[in-house]
Amino acid sequence: MVRVAIVDDEQRELDTLLDFFRKLQNELREEIVATPFQTGEALLEGYDYSYDLICLDIELDGRDGVSVAKELRRRDGKVVLMFVTNMAQMAICGYEVRALDFLVKPVSYYSFSMKMRSAVRMIQNRKSRNIVLQMVDGMQKISTDQLYYVEVSGHYIFYHTKGGEFRQKAALKEVEEKLKGLSFERCNNCYLVNLKHVDCVKKDEIYVGGDWLKISRPRRKAFLKSLANYMGGVEEA
C-alpha cells in the first residue's frame, strides 16, 4: 500500500488528482490511499509520518507550499515530495527540500502517470519485509533491511546480513521471487544485491556490506540503471 497526501486549496484540483490516483491504482494493481488537504497547516497539524508521498501545491492560501515543504523536511527526511504549480519556473524551489519532481497545472493524466509511476516505484523499493529461512538446524527470520546481498554457491544460498551470514538450501530464482518488488537487483548470476546498501561503484565492481562484488557485462546496463533510479541519480550512458 502507498499512502499519499494531496495539498491544494482548489477543490477542483483536489478532485482531479484524487481521480488520477484511483485510475493509477487500477493500472498498477497497487493499493493507493490518497487523503486531501486544503491547507498546509491542516497537513502539518498532527502529522504522523505515515505518508509515503506528498503532492504539494506551491501557491496555497495561508502558508505557501515551499514553507510547508521545509517544515516537512525538518520533521521527515524520507517522505517523497512532489510539487504542483501553475508556473514551471517555481519548481526550482524543490531543490532545497529535495522534491522528487513537479507537475504543472493543468495536470494531464499522461504527465501525472509518468511521474507518479516513478515515485511509486521508488517508494516500493524503499519498503522492506521479513523473510523466514528454513535451514537444516531450524528457522531464521531476517528483515530485508538488514540484508546486504544474496549469494548462490552450488545448491546453497548464502544471506549476507548485518547480523552475520546464513545458509539455506535453495535456488536463487526462489529467493528472487520472495524479494520481488523490493530494492534488489542481480549484478551477475551469483549475486542478488540490495541497492540500499551499495556504497560505491568502481568500473565493474560494487562495494556492498564490506565486500567488493563483480558486475557482469551482460547485467551491467540494467543493474546500473536500477541503481541510478533507486538513488535518484542519472544512469550511465
- pLDDT tens digit string along 63-109? 999 999 999 999 998 899 999 988 766 656 667 788 889 999 999 99
Contact (CB, 8 A) for 103 and 121: no
**pLDDT tens for each residue of 15-35:** 999 999 999 999 988 889 999
Strands 53-57 and 138-143: unpaired
The residues pairing with 39 across neighbouring beta strands, listed in sequence order, are none
pLDDT of the residue at 21: 98
Q: Which of 78, 102, 126 is the last residue of a domain?
A: 126
| Residues 152 and 92 reside in one and the same domain | no
Same domain, 6 and 116: yes
Would you say residue 236 lies in a domain?
no
Residues 161 and 196 placed together within one structural domain of the fold: yes
Number of domains in the chain: 2
Q: 237 lies in a domain? A: no
Q: In the listed set 107, 126, 145, which residue is the last one of a domain according to the structure?
A: 126
Q: What is the pLDDT of residues 129-181, one digit of tens each?
A: 888 998 778 899 999 989 999 999 999 999 999 999 999 999 999 999 888 87
For residue 236, the model assigns a pLDDT of: 40
Q: Are residues 81 and 138 in the same domain?
A: no
- The CATH code of the domain that includes 82 is 3.40.50.2300
pLDDT reported for residue 231: 67
Predicted pLDDT at 92: 67
Residues 114 and 136 in one domain: no
pLDDT at 232 over 60: no
Residue 43 and residue 116 in one domain: yes
Residue 209 shares a structural domain with residue 155: yes
User: What's the sign of the alpha-carbon dihedral 117, 88, 19, 48?
Assistant: positive
Instruction: For residues 10 and 118, state if they share a domain.
Output: yes
Range of the domain at 15: 2-126
pLDDT band at 234 (very low <50, low <70, confident <90, very high): very low
**Domain boundary at 66, 101, 126, which?**
126
